[in-house]
Structure 1
Amino acid sequence: MGFQDEEIIKKKKELEQQKKLRESQDRLEKEAEESIYDEIVHIIGEEVHFQRREIPDLKISIYMPETFFLFTDDVKHLVYPGANAPTHVFGGENINFQMSFHQTEHIVPDDGMKKFMDITADLMKAVGPRVTIIEKKVLEKEDFHIGVLQFVSRAIDMMVYNFQYYISMEDDRLLIGGITFPSKYKKRFFPLAKEMIDSICKLKEEV
């Protein structure tokens, strides 16, 4: 095979790769226009249906993929090997992100959420170069607030995008939630995570 033939083959491969990349980007852009409230949502080619699920232990409900399941303690500690694993972790086999909740005993009143978020962001920054704060905000729901902190952290083998959110629950005890995914999937998972957090409702007390 001559030099020119090798160059032609090389060029064809480059063009094929560029075409696949464009098709992948086009697909992600179309998927990003979909909402968790649609009948079917496409997540990197997978068809997914979201549904509102109640979590009675935590006294909240939230939209999540219907295939998500609550991790057993064994699986949970594999995902979170430290001693402070969240009390509830949800995930699925074909969707590369997890959702977690941890009911704490820390007291944070709802009307003090903004101040708490300022302190939390400062503490997070003090962690150093392993964490980069992207955004800090407080969402106003009908009858409560949700503090939301977005940051990127460095794992052993990848960069991880994090949504960490905070809700003042019964007796002002702080509920901490999280949605995490590989940063390389941010374009697809980012709008889903925002909608999921915004869908959180507190369960009504039974009279």
Structure 2
Amino acid sequence: MSEIYAEEIIRNKRKLEQAASQEALKEALYQIENDISNGYVVVKYETLELEERTILDGRLTMLLPTRFEEMNEELKAVKYPGPEGPEWVYSNESGDISITFTLEKGEIKPKEVTEVRDVLSREMKRLYPASAIEEKKTIGDGENLVSTFSMDIPLIDGDCYHLLFLRAVRDGLVIGSFDCSIKEKKQWQQIMMQILETLKETDA
């Protein structure tokens, strides 16, 4: 074997090892166990800082990524057309990841929220019969109960991971949702369950 040929083999071997190492690093970043108590999360190899925000006209506080801003009315009208659209929407810059909130005025007890969740999940199943209802959960305790369910919704530009959550407040029921691409579902699932535990009613 010539010296030049041997060097070429070594170079190619090193390139393969480097590529494998980079792929392993990407895989590790993708499967990272996010813990919001660190003050940040990692999604799709990107670090997102978290901060406590006051939302819903001062009714609630919640941890949200610092890059998420309230969606402007023009984009909101496009993404959520019609009178049934959410009152508040917080999203990343492109609008492809969003958290929405609507306040239904009235009297509801925290223990009744699960019943409302089940009614809404049946309605969503009727609208999307091919999609399975997933992750029916109730997290928190006492006045801080949050009931959730999720499903994958088929859209024209690809499947969407849709998480719906409900929480009783003094003057009604907060109905919220989180949406992202199905490609980011695995990471956002664990993150959102933690974030929803930070949803607190203010004294205002």
TM over 0.5: yes
Q: 1:114 to 1:56 in 2, by over 3 A?
A: closer
Unaligned runs of 5+ in 2: 1-15
Which residue does 1:89 correspond to in 2? Answer: 89
One-letter identity of the residue aligned with 2:87: T
TM-score normalized with structure 2 length: 0.80
* Residues 89 and 184 of structure 1: CA distance in aligned 2, closer, same or farther (over 3 Å): same
Change in Cα spacing, 1:195 to 1:144, as seen in structure 2 (3 Å) is closer
SS of the aligned residue for 1:175 comes to strand
- Cα RMSD of the aligned pairs, angstroms, is 2.6
Residue deviations 1:133-173, cap 9 Å, x none?
112122233423211111111111211111111112223x2
Confirm or deny: 8 A CA contact 2:69 2:93 kept in the other structure.
no
Gaps of 5+ in 1: 1-14
Counting only pairs closer than 5 Å after superposition, residues 153-168 of structure 1 correspond to structure 2 as 153-168=153-168
Query: CA separation in 2, counterparts of 1:144 and 1:138?
Result: 10
- Work out whether residues 26 and 45 of structure 2, in 8 Å CA contact, stay in contact via their aligned partners in 1: no
* 2:197 aligned partner: 198
If the length of structure 1 is used for normalisation, what is the TM-score?
0.79
- 1:125 and 2:129 correspond: no
Is residue 184 from structure 1 mapped to residue 186 from structure 2 by the alignment? no
Kindly provide the CA deviation profile for residues 158-207 of structure 1, in whole angstroms up to 9, marking residues without a partner as x.
Answer: 11111111112223x221111111111112211111111111011124xx
CA shift in 2, pair 1:162/1:128, >3 Å: closer
> Shift of the alpha carbon at 1:39?
3.7
The amino acid across from 1:192 in the alignment is: I
Matched letter for residue 69 of structure 1? E
**Structure 2 partner of 1:61:** 61
| Higher Cα Rg, which structure | 2
Matched residue SS, 1:57: coil
Counterpart for residue 30 of structure 2: 28
Higher mean Cα deviation, 155-164 or 129-138? 129-138
